[in-house]
Amino acid sequence: MSYCRQEGKDRIIFVTKEDHETPSNAELIADDPNDPYEEQGLILPNGDINWNCPCLGGMASGPCGSQFKEAFSCFHYSKEEVKGSECIDYFRNMQECMQKYPELYPQEEDKESSTQAESDTGSASAAPTEGSALSPETDATPSTSSLPSDSVSTTDSQAAS
Amino acid sequence: MLKCRTVWKKLAPLARDSSTLCRQDVRRAGLNNGSAVRVPAAHMSSGSAGGGGENKLYVLLVGAACLGGGIYAYRTVKGDQQRYMERMAEISSRPHKAASQKTAVPAQSEPPAAAATETGTVPEPKPGAAPSPEEPSPAAPGAEAAAPSETTEPPPAVDSTPASTKVPSHAPYLLIGGGTASFAAARSIRARDPGARVLIITNEPDLPYMRPPLSKELWFSDDPSVTETLRFKQWNGKERSIYFQPQSFYIQPEELNSAENGGVAVLTGKKVIHMDVRGNKVKLDDDTEILYDKCLIATGGVPRNLQAIERAGEKVTKRTTLFRKIEDFKSLDKVSRNAKSITIIGGGFLGSELACALGRRSADFDLEVIQMFPEKGNMGKVLPEYLSNWTTEKVKKEGVKIISEALVKSVTYKDDKLEIQLKDGRLVKTDHIVAAVGLEPNVDLAKSAGLEVDSDFGGFRVNAELQARSNIWVAGDAACFYDIRLGRRRVEHHDHAVVSGRLAGENMTGASKPYWHQSMFWSDLGPDVGYEAIGIVDSSLPTVGVFAKATAKDTPKAATEKSGTGIRSESETEDTAVSPVASSTPAPAVEQQRDNYGKGVIFYLRDKVVVGIILWNVFNRMPIARKIIKDGEEHADLNEVAKLFNIHED
């Protein structure tokens, strides 16, 4: 059973698990998914890519940022059967650029953070996604580039992402 | 511009007079049909000669003058346009020149070349002015007025050469300060403005780094070389550096204007001492001037000191650490290995965290750790009293000797020891003092820039979009901003620096978003007590705390292990579930006494609206807390609201 105590202006309530089992009747205001003030997810309401999404870490802002943006944009807007199949050149450019900065883009794993982010969009487009990309469990990767998002999360600032 | 106006003013009446004269003459000629009668023209300053013949001569002279003036004006405009094109071509070719020859010589030779083209083109209109003898003097000032307006860009090239060729003379995005807010802004700008050129100026010798590990994780590292590597192991086992990015992420300042896709350059060891808002430029401590298009002030702050220490003399100040930077961490680490007793003055976040960190070491190094503060318990200004007392007990368990309700009267150096005299008579002897008594926001530039400083909270006063004036934004510890939901405030937390830095970067690249996404903060006091908070968390507000009993799984360590991330704000903001790592000891819920505040939620109220929430040993629920604050609703029963947090679950 819960019990309650007042210490001056502070109120203290102790609750057991059973006390909290009944659903809450507190009312929350419905969120507007198109609210311009809110932090956006990876994909903006108009379908564009939000390059400033914390989920991308520093991918769009680093030295290979422009190559990454080209490659990912191409992939995102690709209407081919195998999505992104026409974007091989962009991804190759990106990989070449990243190989020049092994410190920033360690070539450890064969996971693609862009496809991970893409598969995230379905679940996370409405909700703000912060923090680095998760440990990848990706599906088919359309290209040869290896973007270890784990390393991304270690090299990039969690704070700034 | 003013000269043009005066010229026009001179010309206008003349033109008007001559045109009305022309019209009058024509009309008169038409009406009177050669009559000798002359209508007196009262407003005529230039009297007309009597008779048609003289009129005709007059008309001829005026016509010639108009024609000459027209020709001259046409040639001037053409000449100006040509000069402008030449100037633009020259400016665009200059970075190529600078890139190819990295010595001071081309920089020196450029300004004279620029000056030569200037003087070369000025004489041009003068011959053009000859045909119209009436207007040589107003014309020349007009030409000169045109010339200075074109040369606002090049002059810094002339001034900056003696200092250093490494410093670019113009940076489209200039960020003053090299901390968390600045880095977050740089990243945001680069993400949104492709090819952006960002220059960060910091007076520290280090690249941008994060501060929280300096008082937490770095102290718990097993690596003996941690003071050099500055790498720490996050609780999920992953190691990372405190630097946001390694050196290879940045470009050199001298490459800033030539790099094809732009980049972020960091100028270390330089201080901005003067800001000229009208001229859009700043001056460094080595007299270099840098022009900017958009500027962010993220100067953070300087640790406050106690008056008692400041006036105590050099022997005392030498043995006092004001903790903020990497060098402070290094020196305190060294002190902690050699000293026998360290006293921390201050009971807030930094003081308590350092006390816990040093307290852990006290066993290994035979070190006495004392913490003293004016409040009754640790975090006395943040936590409600019952919780503050409970926390103090926990800190004591970490090996810290707590002296509460302690006001420092004086500090003296005696017999190779520091003696701290308290106002109530107690005397504390120690070897070293760490003062963690607050932060003084750095508003040095306010005077030269003419920016407003807030008298209540300190810091630069900015609006809800973090803007101080056109083209100047402020973010981080130094920004006193308007929070639409919670009112005007200034926040000194890491996540706020990230959020405000990112927002400032967005607004600098054209967005107009207000501060809306509420930042959070966290603190750990040893491995058993950790909390996260959001909003206004002030112990003077009425609070409602809802607690459950904690199990072994409810600790900061377990939380981050489960979510697979390293630092709290990262784990807090992940929405997708991760398969939980089984905790090593699935201990059953321990039946503890009723007043054990193991885990729960504390609501801070202002006029019955929740303005702040602390999640006490309850993790990964920050989005719910953020939502409640955002709604800003009056809730009748906060226990119902607490249900939303599911505090009994993991």
Instruction: Compare CB distances from B184 to A127, A154, A160 and report the shortest one's residue.
Output: A160
- A63 with B248: Cβ contact below 8 A: yes
> Nearest 5 degrees, angle CA B560-CA B561-CA B567?
30
What confidence tier does B389 reach under pLDDT thresholds 50, 70, 90?
A: very high
Q: How far is A91 from chain B (nearest CA, A)?
A: 17
Instruction: Compare CB distances from A10 to B384, B514, B547 and report the shortest one's residue.
Output: B384
Q: How far is A114 from chain B (nearest CA, A)?
A: 15
- B513 with A157: Cβ contact below 8 A: no
- B210 with A104: Cβ contact below 8 A: no
Instruction: Compare CB distances from A131 to B240, B249, B565 and report the shortest one's residue.
Output: B565
Q: Which residues of A fall within a CB distance of 8 Å from B573? A: 54, 128-131
pLDDT of residue B268 exceeding 60: yes
Q: What is the mean pLDDT of chain B?
A: 81
User: What number is the average pLDDT over the span B186-194?
Assistant: 93
pLDDT of residue B274 exceeding 50: yes
Instruction: Please name the residue of chain A whose CA is at the shortest distance from the CA of residue B549.
Output: A16
Q: How far is A144 from chain B (nearest CA, A)?
A: 23
User: What number is the average pLDDT over the span A94-116?
Assistant: 70
> Nearest 5 degrees, angle CA B546-CA B548-CA B554?
120
Instruction: Compare CB distances from A124 to B570, B575, B642 and report the shortest one's residue.
Output: B575
User: What number is the average pLDDT over the span A16-39?
Assistant: 85
Q: Are strands B281-284 and B289-297 parallel, antiparallel or unpaired?
A: antiparallel
Check residue B95 and give its pLDDT: 56
Check residue A64 and give its pLDDT: 87
pLDDT of residue A116 exceeding 50: no
What confidence tier does B20 reach under pLDDT thresholds 50, 70, 90?
A: low
Q: Of B514, B600, B587, which Cα lies nearest the Cα of B552? A: B587
From first CA to last CA, the distance across chain A in angstroms is 43
Tell me the residue length of chain A: 161
pLDDT of residue B105 exceeding 80: no
Q: Enumerate residues 6+ apart whose C-beta is below 8 A from B169.
A: B156, B157, B160, B289, B290, B291
Q: Which residues of B fall within a CB distance of 8 Å from A130? A: 569-570, 573-574
- φ, ψ of residue B345 to 5 degrees: the values are -100, 115
User: What number is the average pLDDT over the span B605-617?
Assistant: 95
| Residue of B389 and B556 predicted with greater confidence | B389
Instruction: Compare CB distances from B548 to A7, A15, A38 and report the shortest one's residue.
Output: A15
Half-sphere exposure of B613 (CA within 13 A, CB side): 28
Q: What is the distance between the alpha carbons of residues B57 and B54, in angstroms, rounded to a whole number?
A: 5
Check residue B12 and give its pLDDT: 61
Q: What is the distance between the alpha carbons of residues A61 and A69, in angstroms, rounded to a whole number?
A: 9
Check residue B76 and give its pLDDT: 82
- B385 with A10: Cβ contact below 8 A: yes
What confidence tier does B194 reach under pLDDT thresholds 50, 70, 90?
A: confident
Instruction: Please name the residue of chain A whose CA is at the shortest distance from the CA of residue B239.
Output: A154
% of chain A exceeding 70 in pLDDT: 65
**pLDDT by residue (tens digit) across A44-88?**
888 889 898 888 888 888 888 888 999 999 999 888 888 888 889
| Residue of B1 and B596 predicted with greater confidence | B596
B466-502 burial, b for 16+ CB within 10 Å, e for fewer?
bbbbeebbbbbbbbbbbbebbeebbbbbbbbbbbbbb
Asked whether B249 and A63 are in contact (CB, 8 A), the reply is yes
Q: How far is A122 from chain B (nearest CA, A)?
A: 12
Check residue B631 and give its pLDDT: 94
- A61 with B187: Cβ contact below 8 A: yes
Q: What is the distance between the alpha carbons of residues B309 and B413, in angstroms, rounded to a whole number?
A: 11
User: What number is the average pLDDT over the span B397-426?
Assistant: 95
User: What number is the average pLDDT over the span B152-181?
Assistant: 70
Dihedral sign computed on CA atoms, order A47, A52, A56, A62: positive
Task: Identify the burial level of B253 via C-beta atoms within 10 angstroms of its C-beta, where 0-12 means exposed, 13-18 middle and 19 or more buried.
Answer: buried
**pLDDT by residue (tens digit) across B555-602?**
676 666 555 444 565 544 444 333 343 333 443 444 344 468 889 999
- φ, ψ of residue A67 to 5 degrees: the values are -65, -40
Q: Enumerate residues 6+ apart whose C-beta is below 8 A from B111.
A: B154, B157, B158, B161
Check residue B625 and give its pLDDT: 96
Instruction: Please name the residue of chain B whose CA is at the shortest distance from the CA of residue A119.
Output: B576
| Residue of B194 and B116 predicted with greater confidence | B194
Taking each helix axis as running N to C, give the angle between helix B52-100 and helix B136-150, from 0 to 180 degrees, rounded to the nearest 10: 20
* Amino acid occupying residue B53: G
pLDDT of residue B231 exceeding 80: yes
Q: What is the distance between the alpha carbons of residues B446 and B500, in angstroms, rounded to a whole number?
A: 19
Instruction: Compare CB distances from A10 to B543, B573, B578 and report the shortest one's residue.
Output: B543
Q: What is the distance between the alpha carbons of residues B354 and B335, in angstroms, rounded to a whole number?
A: 13
Residue B30 DSSP code: I
From first CA to last CA, the distance across chain B in angstroms is 70
**pLDDT by residue (tens digit) across B45-93?**
444 444 566 888 988 999 888 998 888 888 888 877 777 777 777 766 6
Q: Which residues of B fall within a CB distance of 8 Å from A31? A: 627
| Residue of B434 and A137 predicted with greater confidence | B434
Annotate B215-282 with DSSP letters as a single string: HTGGGG---TTHHHH-EEE-TTS-EEESBSS-GGGSB-GGGTTT-TT-EEEEETT--EEEEETTTTEE
Q: How far is A143 from chain B (nearest CA, A)?
A: 23
Instruction: Compare CB distances from B245 to A8, A58, A132 and report the shortest one's residue.
Output: A58
**pLDDT by residue (tens digit) across B476-494?**
999 999 999 999 999 999 9
Q: Which residues of A fall within a CB distance of 8 Å from B551? A: none
Check residue B605 and give its pLDDT: 96
Which of A85-99, B109-123, B312-326, B426-440 shows the lowest mean pLDDT across its residues? B109-123
Which of B111-125, B330-344, B534-548, B627-641 shows the lowest mean pLDDT across its residues? B111-125
pLDDT of residue B525 exceeding 90: no
Check residue B21 and give its pLDDT: 58
| Residue of A97 and B163 predicted with greater confidence | A97
Q: Which residues of B fall within a CB distance of 8 Å from A2? A: 639
- A63 with B574: Cβ contact below 8 A: no
- A157 with B627: Cβ contact below 8 A: no
Cβ count within 10 A of residue A79: 6
Q: Are strands A3-7 and A10-14 parallel, antiparallel or unpaired?
A: antiparallel
**Tokens in use for A20?**
């909290």
| Residue of B548 and A129 predicted with greater confidence | B548
Instruction: For residue B301, give the 3-state DSSP assignment.
Output: strand
Which of B43-57, B318-332, B508-522, B621-635 shows the lowest mean pLDDT across its residues? B43-57
Instruction: Compare CB distances from B187 to A3, A58, A155 and report the shortest one's residue.
Output: A58
Check residue B16 and give its pLDDT: 64
- B191 with A60: Cβ contact below 8 A: yes
Q: What is the distance between the alpha carbons of residues B231 and B307, in angstroms, rounded to a whole number?
A: 35
- A131 with B574: Cβ contact below 8 A: yes
Q: How far is A85 from chain B (nearest CA, A)?
A: 25
Assess: ipTM above 0.85.
no
Q: What is the mean pLDDT of chain A?
A: 70
Q: What is the distance between the alpha carbons of residues B499 and B507, in angstroms, rounded to a whole number?
A: 12
Q: Which residues of B fall within a CB distance of 8 Å from A52? A: 188, 191-192, 502, 505-506
Q: What is the distance between the alpha carbons of residues B244 and A159, in angstroms, rounded to a whole number?
A: 8
**Tokens in use for B102?**
């990295």
Check residue B17 and give its pLDDT: 61
% of chain B exceeding 70 in pLDDT: 73
Residue B581 DSSP code: P
User: What number is the average pLDDT over the span B498-527?
Assistant: 93
- A160 with B498: Cβ contact below 8 A: yes
Which of B94-98, B337-341, B348-352, B620-624 shows the lowest mean pLDDT across its residues? B94-98
Check residue B422 and give its pLDDT: 96
Which of B23-27, B134-138, B386-390, B416-420 shows the lowest mean pLDDT across its residues? B134-138
pLDDT of residue B456 exceeding 80: yes
B526-555 burial, b for 16+ CB within 10 Å, e for fewer?
bebbbbbbbbbbebebebbbbbbbbbebbb
Cβ count within 10 A of residue B631: 17
**Secondary element (H or E) of residue B399:** none
**Gyration radius from chain B CA atoms:** 35
Q: Which residues of B fall within a CB distance of 8 Å from A29? A: 631, 633
User: What number is the average pLDDT over the span B528-538?
Assistant: 92
Q: Which residues of A fall within a CB distance of 8 Å from B627? A: 28, 31
Instruction: Compare CB distances from B648 to A17, A58, A120 and report the shortest one's residue.
Output: A17
A41-53 burial, b for 16+ CB within 10 Å, e for fewer?
bbbeeeeebbbbb
Cβ count within 10 A of residue B399: 18
pLDDT of residue B318 exceeding 90: yes
Residue A81 DSSP code: S
